[in-house]
Chains A and B, each alone.
Chain A
Amino acid sequence: MAEQIIIPAGGDKPNQDVFSETLQRLAATDKNIIAVTSDSRGSGKLVPFGKSFPKQIVEVGIAEQNLVGVAAGLASCDKKVFAVSPACFLTARALEQIKNDICYSDNSATVVGISAGVSYGALGSTHHSLHDFAVLRAINNIIIVAPADNFETVKATELAAESKHPVYLRFGKRVMPSLKEDNSDGFEFGKGRVITEGSDVAIIANGETVYPAVKAAEKLKANGIAATVVSMHTIKPLDTELLMKLAATCKAIVTVEEHSVYGGLGEACASYLLQHGYAKPFKIMGIPDEYTITGPQLDIFKHYGISEEGIADEVTKLLR
């Protein structure tokens, strides 16, 4: 395991930049770390990686199915492979390769969806990935992770490199502030991170929606509502222990994600809770079943209520 690096509070980079920096650090001491790209080293911030380790990057051109097949073949020879491509293409066009070549054959490659969700805002629905959690959740043998800040990104990348089974990492382009002053509680796949604690409502978010959830919790606090905010970075396996704890202690649960309201984090939580006796107010926030309005990512977020105000309003309504 590479030495731990501590990212100071106030993390100030896009997660996908931190991913590529972490990968570069790992590659420096491990020649088995291989990045596979589909003309995506620029957007994946892997240009420096490619320059530093030309023998540890495999370019396949704009060919996502081959990207994943090649990654599987490399992983079968004990390479620690990261197949990096925009999430929108990777998880749709190459879904069968992810399902069969990576997951079914258990070739322990990491599939890295960059510029995920609506990161590509104004480029439109061809470039949005609002389906990736849903499709991958229905595939056996893949850990699905959407880190929320730079610290989670570093840790997730390190864990993925050592994972003996397939992993999906999902990153966005926006600068992500650090969620906690103190990261000593660590990070592991399948264990949600509690960012703030309060017993009125639990807001469970992931990826780039955790930050607005934290801001919403601050706003709610000013109005006398105490919220627990959880970064549920791992959607599969879900931290059901934490989920049940939240169900027991809070009056309502809201989930927030940069994904369709169908099939993602919200439905994963709802499904588990409903089958285990939860009967309190519950709301899934995300992108509704439509081709989204376009514009900058944050404008899209605001439009659909994924914002400090939107989340706070939804919580307030739910607690009435």
Chain B
Amino acid sequence: MTTEDLKIKSINYRKNILKYIVGANAGHTGGSLSCTDILNVLYNHVLNVSPQNFSSPDRDRYVQSKGHCVEALFVVLADKGFFPEEDLNTLCKYKSHYIGHPTKKVKGVEQNTGALGHGLPICVGTAIAAKLDEKDFRVFTLMGDGELPEGSNWEAALSASHYKLDNLCAIVDKNSLQITAPTADVMNTDPLDKKWEAFGWAVKEVNGNDIDELKAAFAALPFEKGKPSVIIAHTTKGKGVSFMENELKWHHGVPNKEQYQQAINELDKSLTEVTA
């Protein structure tokens, strides 16, 4: 898929994220918008995962550790044909499977997540299984920078390098904001690259809202033979909507009617610019 095609997809994903969050009157807006491009490139350019091969043991695995940004995952899975997009009209409604965190009841979801610090350990186990079975599939997890103080991440990081899991890639959506305040003020994890390096990982830093940079980073996997790879993706929380960008209140803020319309107008304008 061309970069331009992917850019168009990103904008449409963002529009859908907002649409379904407004419909549900709930959701994690800012973080879903920050990781949209990452999920877009993963599902449309990197992962060997589709509705057709989802029960195959050879499929790539993607586990969303930052489960609260499920809206981004759901709109991408719908676009990939895992389920009809209109299902998302039931998001967070009574008895809907489309809830506020990933659940395997939704086709395309690998693991139930939501409690933070769980994705990477599970992916370590999955990557070890691939090595044991001499299978070529790769394992990816998306983590928030705010979840990194969870100690289980670093237990897993140690074991991933110990077992030389170069079939494993962690992506940190480093949007630098979390529910309380800027991440650096809540619990500083910088310098992040040095920490991952110290744990035996090969590190690349990219602009996580730049399609070409993401494509190039994923194309370079594994960054070093015999080492797990981490992409520190510098992103903007609320990306694509001017009044949401880098604004704490949009962590799980839901736009009202006027705000929603303004956001859609801005995204439509971006769409015009991309296709011009």
Contact = CB atoms under 8 A, between A and B. Distances in A.
B57 A77 contact: yes
A63 B155 contact: yes
Given A63-B159, A69-B124, A105 B57 contact: no
23 contacts: A34-B132, A60-B159, A65-B151, A66-B155, A66-B159, A68-B121, A69-B121, A70-B122, A72-B111, A73-B122, A73-B123, A73-B126, A73-B127, A74-B129, A76-B122, A77-B125, A77-B129, A79-B132, A101-B122, A104-B112, A105-B104, A105-B112, A106-B104
Interface of A: 34, 36, 55, 58, 60-61, 63, 65-66, 68-79, 96-97, 100-101, 104-107
Nearest to B130: A77
A61 B115 contact: no
A81 to B, nearest CB: 8
Given A72-B125, A79-B129, 19 more contacts: A34-B132, A58-B128, A61-B155, A61-B158, A61-B162, A65-B152, A65-B155, A66-B155, A70-B125, A73-B121, A73-B128, A74-B128, A75-B125, A76-B111, A76-B129, A77-B57, A104-B112, A105-B112, A106-B104
A72 B122 contact: yes
A70 B112 contact: no
B258 interface: no
User: What's the dominant secondary structure at chain B's contact region?
Assistant: helix
B110 interface: yes
A97 B125 contact: no
Contacts of A97: 118, 121, 152
B62 to A, nearest CB: 12
Contacts of A55: 132
A281 to B, nearest CB: 43
Contact of B126 (A61, A63, A66, A77): A77
Nearest to A71: B125
B167 to A, nearest CB: 12
Greatest chain A CB density within 10 A among B57, B112, B122 is at B122
Nearest to B156: A66
Contacts of B111: 72, 76, 101, 105, 107
Contacts of B125: 36, 58, 69-77
Given A61-B159, A101-B111, A69 B129 contact: no
A172 to B, nearest CB: 27
